Structure 1
Amino acid sequence: MYKNFDELASDVLALAKEILPDKLIYINSLNDKQQIILKLSDTNTSILVTEGMVINLNETLCNRIDFERNEPLIYEDISRETCLNGLKRTLADVNINAYLGIPISLFDGERFGTLCVAHHEASHFDKKSVEMLQRIARMFSYYLDLERLAYRDSLTGLYNRQYLYKYFEDFSVTEGVLFFLDLDGFKKVNDVYGHETGDLVLKEVSLRLQKFVKEPNDDAFAVRLGGDEFIINLPRISSTEEISQRAEQLINYLNTWDTEYQLSASIGIVPYSANGGVQLNTLLKNADNALYRAKAAGKNNYKIFNGYC
């Protein structure tokens, strides 16, 4: 496995550059509203796009790609196109006059994004080059699926225990904090409403956790350990005031439900220092001790490990 997405994307782009060495090649992710440029083959280029650039999806050529048919989209001379009047000015502003977009979809049909080729001058994309780039896109999507199987929880889509251990083993850890949370009242949901409803609750909890971790920084992530136990890793958070603020926010995220069953969360919290040499197993044990104290104190609250509990 690659250590991170950048490493994988760099290899994909290097292979693509062997096919079209004089073109700018880049990888995008797409959601319902935006296109995000994730990785460029070149940073010193006459085309004015940058890594991390976010573009309104309606203002992109990638939005015109047919993902259902999995077909590439090709414009060899945008200046001569009559069907792009709404986009010509935008493309001219970033100095793109030739475009090739190849869809990247996951095994289940979910749209991931695109592998794109751009040039400032009109260019011909021969059939063999396009087919080779399609093969590279398929290899890339296959790896993304493998990574999902290895490091994602199959029910919720959150990271799993294996990813959590890999993260602490492979990366230089900055200071941060782990939240170990357990759902209050979840057993009753399963007993009264059945496991199918319980699975729906876990999926909804996971969506709320994903929303929660997006707010502080891009390095934060959520993990499902199993059952109704979850871990949240929040790097670069160390002050007690900030930890408490985030914990209270998380409790509010998880104790409001429109249905008749009552759910909340108890949280055990353990801070960790940068490169402190503390093993993840020790952190989890300490967080579990703090979680036990939160449960014993009446649930729907949090406790911070202080070295004694």
Structure 2
Amino acid sequence: MSTIFQELETYKNFDELARDVLDLAKEILPNQLIYISSISDTQQVILKISNETTSIVATEGIMLNLNDSICRGIDFEKKQPLIYEKILEESSLADLKNGLEKANIKSYLGIPISFVNGDKFGTLCAVNDEEHHFDDKSINLLQRIVRMFSYYLDLERVAYKDSLTNLYNRRYLSKFFEDQQETEGWIFFLDLDGFKKVNDVHGHDAGDMVLEEVALRLQTFANAHPNALAFRLGGDEFVIHFSHASDIKKMSRLAEQVLENLTIWDANYQLSTSIGIAMYPGDYAITLKTLLKNADYALNLAKASGKNTYKFFEL
């Protein structure tokens, strides 16, 4: 399951509001099959689809390789609609022609959906089994609906995001952990060595810049590992959660990668990182509070052994 779908599970009233968006869109384009999708860098998932029967083959929950989807051409930076009124005549979609014919799609309108900060969410799309002209008034109305939907998405997201670093916060970690308890996993509890001195000597603005850079490096690391999520608990405390079972050797290698990523700093900043690591099995219940306590104990061992290292919690 990708990050955005895990995130959506925490949103209140998403299904209801998504259905309202589809109903409003159908009022504007009554003869179209309309759907809301979510898009990552490599995949697209159809989240909600208008429920009337059509000759177009599409179902909720279907996951597509983004390169095999019409929505690959959506420009999220310019936030402009993508329009194909005679889709089978589009030379840029020649590699998709067989799939489009099987799905019986002959026209397409895709409107990008983004969070307020510019992060992409997905699309609101209208497809038809006939060629169709999309007039400017209809497109403008759909864009306004998407804008309102984006505000809702952003309000939901703010509740689970750290305002400074844009990493997930403790509240989201708690919700996420509740959903992961039947599987094994690992927690890396990170604390910056020397961060107080940065604040004391260079000021809190410099401290905030350091925290934002740490978050960026941790997010980059998490993006490279499909089972990892990065969180900021508060202050200079961060967590990386791994949703899978693995041996200590592999987790040690990952910890070494994290330490290496957080070693290089401006010469004025005497910074390093210590990590406490705790594992939880899937065969018995453990609270997040206890797991963090275990990881924090290991973290203190890492600091006591000279900092800039990691230690495992052992019963």
Q: What TM-score bracket applies, with the shorter chain setting the length? A: 0.7 to 0.9
Query: 2 CA distance for matches of 1:106 and 1:188?
Result: 36
User: For the Cα contact (< 8 Å) 1:3–1:170, is it kept in 2?
Assistant: no
List aligned pairs for 1:1-309, cutoff 5 A: 4-5=7-8, 14-15=19-20, 18=23, 19=26, 23=33, 25-29=35-39, 34=41, 36-39=43-46, 41=48, 46=57, 51-55=63-67, 60-63=72-75, 66-67=78-79, 72-79=81-88, 85=91, 87-95=92-100, 96-108=105-117, 111-125=120-134, 130=139, 133-134=142-143, 136-217=145-226, 219-274=227-282, 276-307=284-315
Q: Which amino acid aligns with 2:307?
A: K
Unaligned runs of 5+ in 1: none
Q: Which structure 2 residue ranges, 5 or more long, are not aligned?
A: 50-54
Question: Does the aligned pair in 2 maintain the 1:65–1:72 contact within 8 Å?
Answer: no
TM-score, with length taken from structure 2: 0.78
Asked if the contact 2:265/2:271 (under 8 Å) is kept, the reply is yes
Aligned residue for 1:151, secondary structure, equals coil
Counterpart contact for 1:183–1:265, Cα < 8 Å? yes
SS in 1 for 2:75: helix
How far apart, in 1, do the equivalents of 2:308 and 2:277 lie?
14
Question: Deviations for 1:231-260, whole angstroms, at most 9, x for unmatched residues?
Answer: 110011331111111111111111122543
Counterpart contact for 1:66–1:72, Cα < 8 Å: no
Aligned-partner SS, 2:132: coil
Give the alignment's Cα RMSD to 1 decimal.
3.5
Pair 228,12 (structure 1): closer, same or farther in 2 beyond 3 Å? same
- 1:114 Cα offset (Å): 2.5
TM-score normalized by the length of structure 1: 0.80
Distance in 2, matches of 1:91 and 1:63, equals: 19
Identity rate of aligned residues, in percent? 46
Matched residue count: 294
How far does residue 276 in structure 1 lie from its aligned partner after superposition? 2.0
Structure-2 separation of matches of 1:90 and 1:288: 53
Q: Which amino acid aligns with 2:272?
A: S
